[in-house]
């Protein structure tokens, strides 16, 4: 077994295990830490694909900024078990059914896809170059880039509004 394959298998095991631990952990802070570990292992996959810039940006943006925002929001909201609202069985059943249907659709799509066979068209453009990547991002993909920034801004405002406590009147 080659070294690259061994590293890929180890990173894949770490990614999958931390992703499942993120979902199934009872404590929100533990989930956030597992998610950071998952993000770091995904950055390791980017390094295996020789995408160093993407790996660094992934670590800075996801493991850094977004996870700090997430942890800040979780700590600010002060989630306790006593305050947790229990979902009705119908809601949990509907969520389970939707999850199973979505999984079946994704599995069917995965099974029916065929690999691309034929010559690989190489344009000669090095997309690892930050200059070329910036030109492509801010010329061809300007609108999706701006939509993503607006989405992050709205999510941040929503997190602040969710964590804001209502004032109680004194009688």
Distance separating alpha carbons of residues 75 and 22, to the nearest angstrom: 17
The tens digit of pLDDT for each residue in 59-71 reads 888 877 777 777 7
The parent domain of residue 96 ranges over 1-106
Domain count, the chain: 2
Q: Check residues 117 and 110 and name the one with the higher pLDDT.
A: 110
Distance separating alpha carbons of residues 87 and 162, to the nearest angstrom: 19
Assess if residue 111 is contained within a domain.
Answer: no
Q: Does 148 have pLDDT greater than 90?
A: no
Q: Global pTM?
A: 0.58
Contacts for 11 with CB less than 8 Å, ≥ 6 apart: 41, 44, 45, 48
Assess if residue 58 is contained within a domain.
Answer: yes
Q: Does 52 have pLDDT greater than 90?
A: no
pLDDT band for position 100 (cuts 50, 70, 90):
very high
Residue 90 sits in the same domain as residue 53? yes
89: DSSP letter: H
Percentage of residues in the chain having pLDDT higher than 90: 23
Q: Does 122 have pLDDT greater than 80?
A: no
Domain boundary among the residues 75, 106, 137 is at 106
């Amino acid at each position: 077994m080659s070294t690259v394959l061994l590293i890929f298998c180890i990173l894949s095991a770490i990614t999958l295990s931390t992703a499942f631990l993120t979902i199934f952990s009872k404590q929100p802070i533990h989930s956030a830490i597992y998610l950071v570990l998952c993000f770091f292992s995904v950055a390791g996959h980017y390094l295996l694909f020789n995408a160093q810039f993407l790996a660094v940006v992934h670590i800075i943006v996801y493991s850094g900024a977004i996870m700090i925002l997430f942890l800040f929001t979780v700590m600010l909201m002060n989630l306790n078990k006593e305050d947790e609202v229990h979902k009705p069985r119908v809601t949990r059943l509907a969520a389970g059914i939707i999850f199973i249907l979505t999984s079946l659709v994704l599995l069917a799509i995965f099974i029916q896809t065929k690999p691309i066979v034929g010559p690989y068209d190489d344009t000669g453009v090095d997309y690892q170059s930050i200059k070329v990547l910036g030109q492509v991002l801010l010329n061809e993909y300007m609108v999706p880039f701006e939509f993503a920034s607006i989405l992050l801004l709205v999510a941040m405002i929503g997190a602040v509004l969710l964590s804001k406590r209502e004032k109680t009147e004194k009688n």
